[in-house]
């Protein structure tokens, strides 16, 4: 059982012209990840691009491991051109994932844009009534509507900045609204999205004195905590996103 | 087939070492690499006190390479001796500590504390001297000479290695180091470089400038190893962009007695082992009995 293994491409599906679901079949036994953990994918057999790209685990089954990503630059462009039966080097699971909410706690999940990729497996794992606030710029950035609908415990509130889908708002307005109405509740907030959103959600849960877990992104090289390339400043000094993270608790940040 | 080499009095079972800062304190990679099979583990640069380093972003990918501006973050001497070194001592390999300081006194104190405790001490002199207006120890021949002279007095048992910066006249600095009684030289350190996001007009690294490493710098490293090998008589440890066994052989032919693997660890977590296997494969291919017979084996009618 190794965290460094080869996998074969089963399928590469385009959810939209910009969003790709990459489904892989590991060619060796691999470890079972927890939601929030990530993998480094080698995008090229050559030395350019040199570094592996980090992606959150989107789904994991016995014979299949998949990632959901947006085409951003060269690395994701190459990955989105993979074809069935191509092989790729996979490295993971890495880092620390989301702890599940405690017995009595209710989960409130906040996804900004591609943050949904990391939070979707968490939503599947929680298995009790949960609210998801899912925000993006516009309608075409809202993914997985059917899959989210079929999660029986999850009530989804969709918002877009331009109002083309769901309510016209950022995730912060419905979040504040919910928290104001439920101050007495034992709520654990989970958030993944752009830094600006993370900071705003963090301020809000501090204000309501709630527990929260945040998944951060930083450029990475080794993925193992060795190069110190991926640090973020926390309450307790510089912490490595690849090792102490990518999921940090509200107190840590 | 003999793969063992010596860096002064340090015997290594093979010429493969890790490059400082790319292999953590060894523990991080022990899941992928049997540390017993390495010639030496060179750890992340250590200072007297823990250092926080630069704010992120600290890395940026470039064509066949990367920039880093870690800024010397490390756990400090005390924690290294208490927690990191005992871990490495479980393995049958040499431990080399890369040291960095802000003042001459800091280097001297580190040498004193580490002498005899580890097999070798590697002085990274590409650090700003805060008492001399921030000029790098590796930049000024006088400062370079002085820090080596004072450190040498404290290193009585361990092997003393000085790491050369590619920004200096390496032949000149190699000679100074040899004259001051240094046991071995290692090179090259990263090459100062920068990158700009043209859309925001901001630097890619928060520190503005970083060090370039990876395959992109390999030809520079090979040339400098050749320059130093042909100038001094002490052993040379070659590094810069070594990804495969063939790359390692190239450095050995240019004059390196041992080689160090840096950025390659990020490309393949088991890069050191792949490189070791590649070296053996080359030796079998050409019926080389002893790796030492390849050192400086470049054929050139110049
Ligand atoms: C822990 C973690 C989990 C992630 N999970 C997902 C996911 O599930 N889905 C998804 O679409 N994206 C995810 N990302 C972001 C994803 O890694 C980047 O979008 C991707 O690396 C971009 O590569 P590129 O070559 O296409 O882009 P380029 O911009 O050309 O990349 C240049 C360099 O910057 C790095 N980089 C660029 N953007 C990011 C970023 N946001 N975070 C870290 N490094 C970056 C690249 O890895 C590369 O080294 C995650 C990032 C991290 C750190
Ligand atoms: C992330 C990173 C951190 C490094 N930290 C150190 C260090 O602490 N001390 C040092 O002497 N060199 C350090 N280096 C330089 C390497 O040891 C090596 O000289 C250089 O990277 C060239 O080799 P490479 O191309 O194989 O990486 C670092 C390099 C990288 C990429
Ligand atoms: S990526 Fe190297 S320490 Fe996190």
Instruction: Give me the residue spans of the domains in chain B.
Output: 5-53+72-192+212-294
Amino acid B129: pLDDT: 81
Find the CB nearest B52 among A49, A51, A238: A238
| Span B272-282, average pLDDT | 98
Does the beta carbon of B59 lie under 8 angstroms from any beta carbon of chain A? Answer: yes
| Span B50-76, average pLDDT | 95
Q: What is B5-53+72-192+212-294's CATH number?
A: 3.20.20.70
Q: Rounded distance, CA B62 to CA B56, Å?
A: 17
DSSP B94: E
**Structural domains of chain A sorted by starting position, each given as residue range(s) with its CATH number in brackets:** 4-94 (2.40.30.10), 106-249 (3.40.50.80)
Amino acid A82: pLDDT: 96
Strand partners, B161: B122, B184
Q: Does residue B130 have a pLDDT over 90?
A: no
Q: Best of B17, B18, B20, B58 to mutate for ligand 2, by most ligand atoms within 8 A of CB? A: B20
pLDDT tens digits along B29-39: 999 999 999 99
Q: What is the mean pLDDT of chain B?
A: 96
pLDDT tens digits along B279-289: 999 999 999 99
Amino acid B133: pLDDT: 80
Nearest to B94 by CA among B152, B38, B45, B44: B38
| Span B284-302, average pLDDT | 96
Atom of ligand 1 nearest to the CA of A70: 11
Catalytic residue among B41, B127, B236, B248: B127
Amino acid B104: pLDDT: 94
Amino acid A53: pLDDT: 98
Q: Does residue B291 have a pLDDT over 80?
A: yes
Our answer to whether residue B127 is catalytic in this structure is yes
CA distances from B86 to A167, A214, B159 (A): 58, 34, 20
Amino acid B119: pLDDT: 98
Q: Assess whether the C-beta atom of A55 lies below 6 angstroms from ligand 1.
A: yes
pLDDT tens digits along B243-259: 999 999 999 999 999 99
| Span B269-283, average pLDDT | 98
Under-50 pLDDT residues of chain A: none
Range scoring the smallest mean pLDDT among A113-122, A180-189, B93-102, B186-195: A180-189
Residue holding tokens 């959810």?
A15
Chain B 216-275, CB below 8 Å of chain A: which residues?
243, 263, 265-267, 269-270
Chain B 149-208, CB below 8 Å of chain A: which residues?
none
DSSP A172: H
| Span B263-290, average pLDDT | 98
Amino acid A146: pLDDT: 93
Q: Does residue B132 have a pLDDT over 90?
A: no
| Span B114-138, average pLDDT | 90
Which residue would you say has higher pLDDT here, B115 or B72?
A: B115
Between helix B245-253 and helix B271-285 the angle, nearest 10°, is 60
Reply yes or no: is the peptide bond before residue A35 cis, omega within 30 of 0.
no
| Span B195-215, average pLDDT | 97
Amino acid B217: pLDDT: 98
Q: Does residue B134 have a pLDDT over 90?
A: no
């Amino acid at each position: 059982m190794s965290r460094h293994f080869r996998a074969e491409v089963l399928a590469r599906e385009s959810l939209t012209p910009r969003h790709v679901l990459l489904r892989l079949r590991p060619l060796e036994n691999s470890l079972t990840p927890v939601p929030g953990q990530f993998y480094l994918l080698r995008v090229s057999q050559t030395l350019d691009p040199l570094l592996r790209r980090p992606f959150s685990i989107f789904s994991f089954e016995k014979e299949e491991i998949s990632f959901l990503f947006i085409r951003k630059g060269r690395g994701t462009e190459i990955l989105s051109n993979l074809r069935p039966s191509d092989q790729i080097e996979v490295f993971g699971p890495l880092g620390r994932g989301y702890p599940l909410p405690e017995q009595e706690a209710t989960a409130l999940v906040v996804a900004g844009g591609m943050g949904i990729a990391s939070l979707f497996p968490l939503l599947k794992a929680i298995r009790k009534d949960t609210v998801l606030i899912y925000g993006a710029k516009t309608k075409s950035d809202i993914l997985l509507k059917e899959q989210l609908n079929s999660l029986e415990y999850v009530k989804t509130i969709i918002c877009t900045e331009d109002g083309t889908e769901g309510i016209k708002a950022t995730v912060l307005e419905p979040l504040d609204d919910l928290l104001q109405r439920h101050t007495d509740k034992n709520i654990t907030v989970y958030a993944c999205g752009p830094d600006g959103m993370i900071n705003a959600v963090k301020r809000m849960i501090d204000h309501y004195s709630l527990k929260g877990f945040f998944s951060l992104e930083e450029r990475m090289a080794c993925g193992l905590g060795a190069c110190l390339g991926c640090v973020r400043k926390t309450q307790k000094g510089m912490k490595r996103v690849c090792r102490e993270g990518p999921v940090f608790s509200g107190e840590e940040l | 087939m003999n793969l063992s080499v010596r860096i002064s009095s340090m015997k290594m079972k093979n010429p493969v070492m890790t490059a400082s800062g790319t292999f953590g304190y060894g523990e991080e990679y022990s899941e992928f690499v049997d540390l017993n099979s390495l010639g030496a583990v060179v750890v992340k640069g250590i200072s007297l006190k823990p250092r926080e380093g630069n704010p992120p972003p600290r890395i940026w990918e470039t064509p066949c390479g990367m920039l880093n501006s870690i800024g010397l973050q490390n756990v400090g001497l005390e924690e290294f001796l208490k927690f990191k070194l005992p871990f490495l001592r479980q393995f049958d390999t040499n431990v080399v500590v890369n040291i960095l300081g802000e003042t001459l006194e800091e280097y001297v104190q580190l040498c004193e504390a580490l002498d005899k405790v580890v097999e070798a001490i590697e002085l990274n002199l590409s650090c700003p001297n805060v008492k001399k207006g921030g000029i790098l120890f590796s930049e000024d021949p006088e400062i370079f000479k002085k820090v080596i002279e004072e450190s040498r007095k404290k290193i009585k048992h361990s092997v003393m290695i000085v790491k050369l910066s590619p920004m200096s006249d390496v032949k000149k600095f190699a000679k100074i180091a040899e004259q001051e009684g240094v046991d071995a030289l290692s090179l090259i350190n990263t090459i100062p470089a920068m990158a700009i996001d043209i859309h925001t007009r901001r630097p890619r690294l928060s520190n503005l400038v970083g060090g370039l490493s990876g395959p992109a710098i390999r030809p520079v490293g090979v040339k400098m190893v050749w320059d130093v090998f042909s100038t001094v008589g002490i052993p040379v440890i070659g590094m810069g962009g070594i990804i495969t066994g063939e790359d390692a052989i190239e450095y050995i032919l240019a004059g390196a007695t041992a080689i160090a693997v840096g950025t390659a660890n990020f490309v393949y977590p088991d890069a050191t082992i792949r490189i070791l296997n590649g070296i053996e494969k080359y030796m079998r291919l050409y019926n080389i009995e002893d790796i030492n017979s390849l050192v400086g084996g470049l054929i050139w009618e110049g």
